[in-house]
Structure 1
Amino acid sequence: MGRVRTLLREQATSWKLPDEVTDTAVLLLGELMTNAYRHAKVPAGREIWARCILAEDRLRISVTDANDTLPTPRDASPDDESGRGLTLVATLADKWGTEPRPCGIGKTVWFELQAARPAVR
């Protein structure tokens, strides 16, 4: 997981995104990747992919895996050691969602953040 977070942080720096947007994006990407590795029991030879797109003032990050089960946030009790990842995504992202992959194998979980760049002086 560390590598994907590092790559996102480097890309966000090259895009000159505000630190708070970068920090939130890195946190949420880590949550989605963790969920994919932990819950998406994928067949051998299948991979988990992350994609980051900056379009105008929106940062969209998606994680795709070969498992068809669409995730939903759950109510974790105070004693649970996990189960809060999608709740974090739902709380911190401007928009998020899940969708089956068009090819029929797997799903994509995505989120968007407002990513207005600082004004150039």
Structure 2
Amino acid sequence: MSTRARPVATGPTAAAPPAATYRLPSNQQSAAHAREALRYHLQAWHIDGEPAHSAELLLSELVTNAVQAQASAGPEVGVRFALSDVCLRLEVRDASNELPVMNEAKEDEECGRGLALVDALASGWGVERDGTGKTVWAELAVGDASAPRPAPAPLSP
């Protein structure tokens, strides 16, 4: 190295955005467990009010759909939430290769409105296949999340 050469200065590195990942059994109670875990993180990230309620509803619909989609395809569903600058991303992974379908439910039907709710509430949503299943994700605008937010301690199952 030349006497005039200087090592490249390194600036502060950006911390990874707050995120949490859970594995839940593929059963009817999983939506409730996922909502409980999400509430914990939303509180730690100082997200409340309408964005928090919408996030819980979105997650509940995604988990319920995943459990139904993989009835016998896998024992678990994966759940992940991540907070970026102004967006909360909710991801639910299952072992089914079947893509979700938005149905038009009739007035007297109790089921079939989940993806319509996701489509109405989310800033965006989609599906990523990976050969052994899929991840359905939804993003929700949560305002200015640029303020420092502590990473919460892991929630015990």
Is residue 2:59 matched to residue 1:32? no
* Secondary structure in 1 matching 2:88: strand
Match of 1:88 in 2: 117
* Secondary structure in 1 matching 2:105: coil
* Secondary structure in 2 matching 1:48: strand
Deviation for aligned residue 1:118 = 7.3
Structure 1's unaligned 5+ residue stretches are none
Which of 1 and 2 has higher RCO (CA within 8 Å, sep 6+)? 1
> Aligned AA for 1:77?
K
**4+ residue runs of structure 1 moved beyond 3 angstroms?**
117-120
Provide TM-score, normalisation by structure 2: 0.69
1:109 to 136, 151, 154: 136
Which structure would you say has the larger Rg?
Answer: 2
Higher helix share: 1
Deviation for aligned residue 1:92 = 0.6
Is residue 2:108 matched to residue 1:79? yes
> Aligned AA for 1:106?
G
Provide TM-score, normalisation by structure 1: 0.89
Structure 2's unaligned 5+ residue stretches are 1-30, 148-157
Contact 2:70–2:94 (Cα < 8 Å) also in 1: yes
* Secondary structure in 2 matching 1:87: helix
Alpha-carbon RMSD across the aligned residues, in angstroms, is: 1.7
Is residue 2:113 matched to residue 1:67? no
Is residue 2:33 matched to residue 1:6? no
Contact 1:42–1:66 (Cα < 8 Å) also in 2: no
